[in-house]
Structure formats: structure tokens, C-alpha cells
């Protein structure tokens, strides 16, 4: 397949370094806007445009699309930088940026018609929670889906659904699946958003439920992660849309650590009069958290880099050893859970200085607690990796890039 490279879209950085610099510059603005983002329970329109201006929504699109085609490692660094400012903004950024990954599974000519440019935003739930009835030329899609992070500002909504024909479960023609499920792309204006996102953390992500009622979806607007129709490559892999999400907890943990260290330099224990810089409790807590952060982050980037090396050289995920392949999803889980642990210990270190609603530590505690309820931070990932390592059946095999 011949690929014609076109210039990166006007107004956005033309390199990973440029995008990362813009993300880092935006972080203080996001930190300042965080209370407003929380109160709105979604990203304000101008914040979406600030994110769009960094180029983050185009970071997964190929160069032939005018995107930056960042490596998984580069994407994760950008997400970390945004999360250093606000977790909800970073969460929506990484999910919206996955448009460039989804387009690998759609016919290029159709995708060019669907996506106006590399800053097109997609949201939605990939889990097959809906029903798609096969009809001439496509499908009639109906259902209700949860956790549509960023759906309030999305251009397209992608939703998983089981396929039916004449009211009966539709089996894949190749016999691989007795009841086929697919992904379906629908313009956001054909989706009804249910304003029910009122949570402990990630309050600004607008992760609302939504419904789609008897909407016609052309065959070309549906896809499956088992068939690549665009250019093959490291980002045209079943697990690619999950890789950079762990940048959110890592960015929050780094923000909490830097905040705690800054506060400790100027704080004195009110009971003993001891400076925190000389306090055994503060010293050991900060050091232990730094150690956990460094080990966890290095684990993420180590697994990610090895995976990318194999894929970029033309290999497949099957060319990884079993240990190398399992390392990637295991590192995601560890990043989420260790980041939550770090924030919790720093929250306890700060005691009553942490508890006010407007204290950043309070928000980081709530955000990391909530994001750890996401599927990629749950025991199902551990089960899948463990089953793979033992020759069993993974419950969520796509986390290992298995369809």
C-alpha cells in the first residue's frame, strides 16, 4: 500500500516535542480551571478548544491524514502533561484522540468523508451494549450505553452492539463467532445524551450515558478490531486505544508528589515545631512514594517501548514473549493502582490540610479513586494476563491484543 504523506494540519505542532511543549504549557491553565471544570461536570467549550489547539486530538492520526502519528510512549507523555493540570481534561483528551486509531479499521475513502480533519473527536463505549439489526446497506442501531467520556463535545460516537438478522443472533460468516458484535459510528447529533454524570471524581469528564434509537448506520460506518482496512502499523492493533490511558494516573501522581514536596519545604509540625524537611514521617513518606512512582512509570514505558520496537520492525504482538506481551496490560493496572496509593499516602501525610473541597489533594484523591474503577484498572485485566501466562482463557483478551 502506497502512503502519501501530507503536511501536518495547519496551526498544530509538527512534532512530538512541539505537542508535548504545548501540553505542558496548558497544564497550569487546566489546574486553574479545574474547579470550574468539576462544577460544569463536562469540559467547557473553550477548554475543548484549548486542547484542540495543542494538537492532542490528532496525535494518533497518521501523517497522511495530517496527524502526528505519535508512538505510544509519546502519546502517554502528552497525556501525563495534561493530567498534571487536570485529570478530567486529560481523560477526555486521550479518549478523543483515539479517533486516529479507530480510522485504521474503516475504509480510508469512507474515513476521509467521515473525519473532517485530524482534530475530529470521537467518544462512546466499545462494549457491545446495543442491538444492531442487519438491513440492506447497513444496520438499524438501538441501545443505551454508559460512560461516554467526552461525549458532550464529540463529533462522532462509537458504540459496540451485537448484530441480529431478522430478529435472530447473527453468526460471523467465517464461523468464528456464533453471535457477532461490531462497532458503529454515529454522528453525535443523532445521539441522545443523558445528563447523569454526577460522581466522586473525574467529575469534569462528562462521562454520561447515552441512547441511540433506530438509527441507520451504513455498513461502511461499522468496523471490527479484527480487520484493519487502513495502513497497518503499531497503532493499527486491537489494544492501541488503551495504551496511553495510564498517562492520566501517572500525571496526577506526579502532580501530587510535586505539590507535597513543595509544601513540605515550608511547613512546620504544629505539635513538635519540627520542620517537615527534617521530619522522619515526611521524609520517608515522600521517598517511598517517589520510589513507587519511578518503578511504576518505568514499568509502563519499558513494556510499551518493547512492544513498539517489535511492531515498528514489522512484527506482530505474537512475536513478543508471553511475559513481554502480558507486561503491557499489567503495567496499566499497576499505574492506576499505584498512583491512587501514592495520592492516598500523601493525602494522609497532609492530614487536615487535604480535606477542603478546594484543596488540590482532595481532587487528586477523588480523581484517582474514580479512575481506578475503569475496566483497565480492574481485576479483569489481572485475570486476563494471568490466564494468558498460564494457558487459560482471558476474560478481556483485547487488552492483550487478542481478538
Give the pLDDT of residue 47.
Answer: 98
Distance, C-alpha 119 to centroid of its chain: 16
Which pLDDT tens digit goes with each residue over 236-289? 999 999 999 999 999 999 999 999 999 989 888 877 888 889 899 999 999 999
Residue 7 is predicted with a pLDDT of 40
* Backbone φ and ψ of 61, nearest 5°: -70, 145
Identify whether residues 289 and 219 lie together within a single domain: no
Q: Is residue 235 part of a domain?
A: no
The x, y and z cell numbers of residue 18, run together, are 512541539
pLDDT for the residue numbered 14: 86
Q: What is the pLDDT of residue 4?
A: 33
286, 312: one domain: yes
Q: What is the pLDDT of residues 148-162, one digit of tens each?
A: 999 999 999 999 999
pLDDT band at 127 (very low <50, low <70, confident <90, very high): very high
In a domain, 132, yes or no: yes
> Which grid cell sits at 175?
464461523
Say if residue 175's pLDDT is above 80.
no
User: Would 203 be classed as within a structural domain?
Assistant: yes
Instruction: Give me the number of domains the chain comprises.
Output: 3
Backbone angles phi and psi of 269, in degrees to 5: -65, 125
- The gap between the terminal CA atoms of the chain, to the nearest Å, is 24
The answer to whether residue 169 sits within a structural domain is yes
Q: Among residues 164, 191, 223, which one ends one of the domains?
A: 223
**pLDDT (0 to 100) of residue 239:** 96
CATH number for the domain including 147?
Answer: 2.40.110.10
Same domain, 216 and 350: no
At 5 the pLDDT is: 32
Domain membership flag for residue 142:
yes
pLDDT-derived band at 211, boundaries 50, 70, 90: very high
Tell me what pLDDT residue 327 has: 98
Judge if 98 and 166 occupy the same domain.
Answer: no
Buried b (16+ CB within 10 A) or exposed e, 310-320: bbeeeeebeeb
**Domain end residue (candidates: 79, 114, 149):** 114
Instruction: Kindly state whether residue 343 falls inside one of the protein's structural domains.
Output: yes
- Residue 248 domain-assigned? yes
Which of 330, 282, 283 is closest to 306 using CA atoms?
330
State the pTM of this model.
0.95
pLDDT digits (tens, 9 = 90+) for 47-75: 999 999 999 999 999 999 999 999 999 99
Q: How far apart are CA 77 and CA 288, in angstroms?
A: 23
Instruction: Answer whether 349's CB lies under 8 Å from 281's CB.
Output: yes
- pLDDT, one tens digit per residue, over 340-372 is 999 999 999 988 777 888 889 999 999 999 999
Is 276 in the same domain as 372?
Answer: yes
The residue segments making up the domain with residue 291 are 240-400
C-alpha cell at 53: 489547539
Please state the three-class secondary structure of the chain as a single string. CCCCCCCCCCCCCCCHHHHHHHHHHHHHHHHHHHHHHHHHCCCCHHHHHHHHHHCHHHCCCCHHHCCCCCCHHHHHHHHHHHHCCCHHHHHHHHHHHCHHHHHHHCCHHHHHHHCCCCCCCEECCCCEEEEEEEECCEEEEEEEEEEECCHHHCCEEEEEEEEEECCEECCCCCCCCCCCEEEEEEEHHHCEEECCCCCCCCHHHCCEEEEEEEEEEEHHHEECCCCCCCCCCCCCCCCHHHHHHHHHHHHHHHHHHHHHHHHHHCCECCCCCCEHHHCHHHHHHHHHHHHHHHHHHHHHHHHHHHHHHHHHCCCCHHHCCHHHHHHHHHHHHHHHHHHHHHHHHHHHHHHHHHCCCCCHHHHHHHHHHHHCCCHHHCHHHHHHHHHHHHCCCCCCHHHHCCC
- CB-CB contact of 295 with 340 (8 Å): no
Check whether residue 203 and residue 187 sit in a common domain.
yes
Domain C-terminal end among 223, 251, 286: 223
- pLDDT at residue 96 in the model: 98
Report the pLDDT value the prediction gives residue 10, as an integer from 0 to 100.
Answer: 52
Are both 131 and 107 inside the same structural domain? no
Same domain? 295 vs 386: yes
Q: Establish if 234 belongs to a structural domain.
A: no
Compute the mean pLDDT over every residue in the chain, rounded to the nearest whole number. Answer: 94
Write down how long the chain is.
403
Q: What is the mean pLDDT of residues 104-124?
A: 95
Is residue 270 located within the same domain as residue 392? yes
Residue 313's Cβ-side half-sphere holds a number of Cα atoms within 13 Å equal to 10
Same domain, 61 and 93: yes
Beta partners for 187?
156
Do 163 and 71 lie in one domain? The reply is no
Residues 203, 219, single domain; the answer is yes
Q: What is the CATH number of the domain that holds 21?
A: 1.10.540.10
Amino acid at each position: 500500500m502506497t502512503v502519501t504523506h501530507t503536511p501536518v494540519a495547519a496551526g498544530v505542532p509538527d512534532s512530538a516535542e512541539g505537542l508535548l511543549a504545548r501540553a505542558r504549557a496548558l497544564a497550569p491553565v487546566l489546574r486553574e480551571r479545574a474547579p470550574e471544570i468539576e462544577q460544569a461536570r463536562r469540559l467547557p467549550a473553550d477548554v475543548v478548544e484549548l486542547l484542540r489547539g495543542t494538537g492532542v486530538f490528532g496525535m494518533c492520526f497518521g501523517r497522511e491524514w495530517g496527524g502526528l502519528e505519535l508512538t505510544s510512549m509519546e502519546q502517554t507523555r502528552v497525556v501525563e502533561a495534561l493530567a498534571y493540570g487536570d485529570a478530567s481534561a486529560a481523560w477526555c483528551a486521550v479518549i478523543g484522540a483515539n479517533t486516529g486509531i479507530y480510522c485504521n479499521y474503516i475504509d480510508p475513502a469512507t474515513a476521509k468523508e467521515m473525519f473532517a480533519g485530524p482534530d475530529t473527536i470521537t467518544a462512546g463505549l466499545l462494549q457491545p451494549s446495543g442491538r444492531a439489526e442487519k438491513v440492506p446497506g447497513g444496520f438499524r442501531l438501538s441501545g443505551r450505553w454508559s460512560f461516554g467520556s467526552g461525549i458532550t463535545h464529540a463529533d462522532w460516537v462509537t458504540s459496540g452492539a451485537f448484530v441480529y438478522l431478522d430478529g435472530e443472533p447473527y453468526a460471523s460468516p467465517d464461523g468464528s463467532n456464533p453471535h457477532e458484535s461490531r462497532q458503529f459510528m454515529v454522528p453525535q447529533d443523532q445521539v441522545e445524551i443523558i445528563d447523569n454524570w454526577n460522581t466522586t471524581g473525574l467529575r469534569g469528564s462528562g462521562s454520561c450515558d447515552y441512547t441511540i434509537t433506530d438509527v441507520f448506520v451504513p455498513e461502511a460506518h461499522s468496523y471490527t478490531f479484527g480487520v484493519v482496512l487502513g495502513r497497518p502499523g503499531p497503532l493499527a492493533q486491537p489494544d492501541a486505544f488503551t495504551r496511553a490511558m495510564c498517562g492520566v494516573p501517572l500525571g496526577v501522581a506526579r502532580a501530587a508528589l510535586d505539590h507535597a514536596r513543595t509544601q513540605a519545604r515550608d511547613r512546620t509540625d504544629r505539635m513538635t515545631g519540627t520542620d517537615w524537611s527534617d521530619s522522619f514521617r515526611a521524609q520517608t513518606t515522600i521517598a517511598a512514594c517517589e520510589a513507587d512512582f519511578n518503578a511504576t512509570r518505568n514499568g509502563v514505558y519499558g513494556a510499551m517501548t518493547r512492544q513498539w520496537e517489535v511492531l515498528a520492525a514489522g512484527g506482530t504482538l505474537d512475536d513478543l514473549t508471553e511475559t513481554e506481551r502480558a507486561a503491557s496490560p499489567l503495567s496499566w493496572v499497576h499505574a492506576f493502582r499505584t498512583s491512587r496509593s501514592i495520592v492516598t499516602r500523601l493525602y494522609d501525610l497532609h492530614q487536615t490540610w487535604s480535606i477542603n473541597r478546594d484543596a488540590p489533594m482532595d481532587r487528586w484523591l477523588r480523581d484517582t479513586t474514580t479512575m481506578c474503577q475503569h475496566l483497565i484498572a480492574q481485576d479483569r485485566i489481572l485475570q486476563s494476563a494471568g490466564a494468558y501466562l498460564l494457558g487459560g482463557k482471558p476474560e478481556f483478551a483485547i487488552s492483550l491484543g487478542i481478538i
